Structure 1
């Protein structure tokens, strides 16, 4: 099959793939048997057996993924505390709160970041007053108690923590660590290795090429950062994972320079389309300065000069009804991140049902940020079962201390997914990706083979290896799994 245009042939692609998957000689019968097998399996499987199943399941791609937010706190600490492995950077984190009034102190500023475990690199530490320096400690010299505090500070692991803590503290605590391209590159490799273990073949992640600095604080050009990432992605270690990676550039929607950043993003992506595939507007939607239509004029001007650049935009990540998802479609998005409140807007639901749009569903994210208080209140099954294309993804799973497999575990347990629904979502994650046509065809073909192999093994009742849950979220969700 030749792909000649995402927007024109996406629906056709999905249909043809599913037809081929289920209608080749013997495949329809195999699918029918697998549907019956899975229905029985769901009612008889122990938590451990179900977790083994979702770990081994070929998952396609993760399409809604913030690179820095997806990394586990232990990974950050290991790299940031060791200059020998992070490019010679040394980091200091705040372990005391004192009323210093030095020139560089921030506790009295309108945008105060006066809280524990804000992390800065040595070049910024050296600019602080003596009093301010006394409130910081090198990451490599933290006591066990301080280290545990640091690790906890970038996870949502306390009952009182919600989206306020997440948006106003977690990212700021990561601080200068996110500006080290070597740390970022090594973290990405670890994520790819983790995804190989979870049978994920594609990762489309948000990671801007700008804002990086050397140990002395001097600026690193975006092109140099991309070269570093390319070298890593083409290394034997990365190739061994079998995971393909593409990047998006994020625009902080409510910032005063968002339009200028949008222009720069178009220019950079146009010159680096082999690795950068889309733009994404991020940031809290309840900040009115970032409403989608703010960018319509700039986008229309840019489209006069640049060939198509994909938009995969956060929309509807809110518990209040609004027109953000509809407006996000208007400005050109083909994928909607979250789409939670679309359930409240009948006109937008009709658009999503009858258009070529995907909702990137992040169940655990929406739960941890308390946009929903119960998974049963999530609109995901309604979207899935009225024909709106959906795909599961992870968002900032390092901060939820969860995995991609956990998303599937929750979805199956909460919504009684059928085998048809599972394979439909998994297929969507490649069909709606922003891979080029040739790469997309290759991934679809490989996914077809992987799913058929998986079905054959399950129908033959081949035992899956017991897998110990890696992260804390899934044990909180189903304590029987971690007791078994």
Structure 2
């Protein structure tokens, strides 16, 4: 799974990419006070409140410091490249950053993101999505401002994602007119929304399908709306590890990923907040195969879907799809050599999550 060409990681929060030791090290490099790494991580499954009410507020000084968050971006790119992720859409905007002395201008953050992402050595193509918190009191204004910003910088920011704790689907109902208006104003932007992550929002997927979105994050109840998802060609961004670690699903075996796939729903695997539990995209595929019994053809299908659902321009998508199909064919040939002992497989880099939860040995 480590060497598998994985296509794209389309749902990954930059604020959740750093592991505990990453935040500590990057923070200390800019003079921030130290802390224990475990305060910034979730190491065992538990209620989502541990993340939203404890980890997120505790992380705020680190994730809102411009140089710290940009250093975490560089670490994510290094890790994504070595596990064969070719493309990523990272949820992060230019708003709300500050140093110890002052607020950081939006133009500064735009310039710094460009400087980092234009470096040729990464080997991972990245676009960004502005992430909007559904629970913000001014969420309507934030959606408008985010869409206007992304449209002005659409070479880098390709769309808008709505995330946050779900409490029923009233927020999506209230925002329907805002979404419709913005989609008409900015037809080239991509639109995605978290929906159906929580059992407290059983109708959220149905409501999300009434919005002009082409991707839905998590959609744990999505199998009930399989026909509508298929008909609307709406892709589910599935993150089994996140769903179990935050207590939304009790075990790997109970995750609805197989039923979504076998209902014909377009699905791709994503990491969500990989640093919080020390995971990587390889682990998502391992869980899917080992515990959810996803087949090889379904694995390949998800990697292809991840590129098909990307918000990059059509010509780039066409080129990436063709290159990915070739990479999968080459991977199959090389894997056959590994099986018969004609070649040595690469040594995987095992994540902290895999060491703790998947019984994967180091080295």
With normalisation by structure 2, the TM-score equals: 0.94
Which structure 2 residues correspond to residues 396-407 of structure 1 after superposition, within 5 A? 396-407=273-284
**SS of structure 2 residue aligned to 1:226:** helix
Which structure 2 residues correspond to residues 261-300 of structure 1 after superposition, within 5 A? 261-286=142-167, 291-300=171-180
8 Å contact kept, 2:168–2:202: no
Do structure 1's residue 306 and structure 2's residue 186 form an aligned pair? yes
- Higher deviation after alignment, 224-233 or 173-182: 173-182
Which structure 2 residues correspond to residues 119-138 of structure 1 after superposition, within 5 A? 138=33
CA distance in 1, matches of 2:80, 2:349: 16
**SS of structure 2 residue aligned to 1:417:** coil
Residues 320, 342 of structure 1: CA spacing in aligned structure 2 closer, same or farther, 3 A cutoff? farther
Residues 151, 307 of structure 1: CA spacing in aligned structure 2 closer, same or farther, 3 A cutoff? same
Do structure 1's residue 355 and structure 2's residue 232 form an aligned pair? yes
1:478 shift after superposition: 2.8
8 Å contact kept, 1:321–1:341: no
**SS of structure 2 residue aligned to 1:476:** helix
Name stretches of at least 5 consecutive residues in structure 1 with no aligned partner.
1-53, 84-89, 92-137, 140-146
CA distance in 1, matches of 2:310, 2:149: 20
1:158 shift after superposition: 4.6
Residue 67 of structure 1 is aligned with which of 11, 14, 24? 14
Aligned to 1:175: 60
Deviations 1:19-53 (A, max 9, x none): xxxxxxxxxxxxxxxxxxxxxxxxxxxxxxxxxxx
Aligned to 1:232: 116
Do structure 1's residue 203 and structure 2's residue 88 form an aligned pair? yes
1:320 shift after superposition: 4.2
1:202 shift after superposition: 0.6
Aligned to 1:164: 49
1:287 shift after superposition: 6.1
Aligned to 1:39: none
CA distance in 1, matches of 2:210, 2:166: 16
1:439 shift after superposition: 1.4
Aligned to 2:213: 333
**SS of structure 1 residue aligned to 2:207:** helix
With normalisation by structure 1, the TM-score equals: 0.71
**SS of structure 2 residue aligned to 1:210:** coil
Task: Quote the RMSD (CA, aligned, Å).
Answer: 1.8
CA distance in 2, matches of 1:382, 1:80: 42
- Higher deviation after alignment, 274-283 or 349-358: 349-358
Do structure 1's residue 422 and structure 2's residue 299 form an aligned pair? yes
CA distance in 2, matches of 1:414, 1:364: 11
CA distance in 1, matches of 2:80, 2:184: 39
**SS of structure 1 residue aligned to 2:174:** helix
CA distance in 1, matches of 2:74, 2:323: 22
Query: Greater Rg, structure 1 or structure 2?
Result: 1
Residues 312, 457 of structure 1: CA spacing in aligned structure 2 closer, same or farther, 3 A cutoff? same
8 Å contact kept, 1:318–1:341: no
**SS of structure 2 residue aligned to 1:55:** coil
Name stretches of at least 5 consecutive residues in structure 2 with no aligned partner.
none
Which structure 2 residues correspond to residues 34-53 of structure 1 after superposition, within 5 A? none
1:360 shift after superposition: 0.5
Which structure 2 residues correspond to residues 77-88 of structure 1 after superposition, within 5 A? 77-83=24-30
8 Å contact kept, 2:180–2:212: no
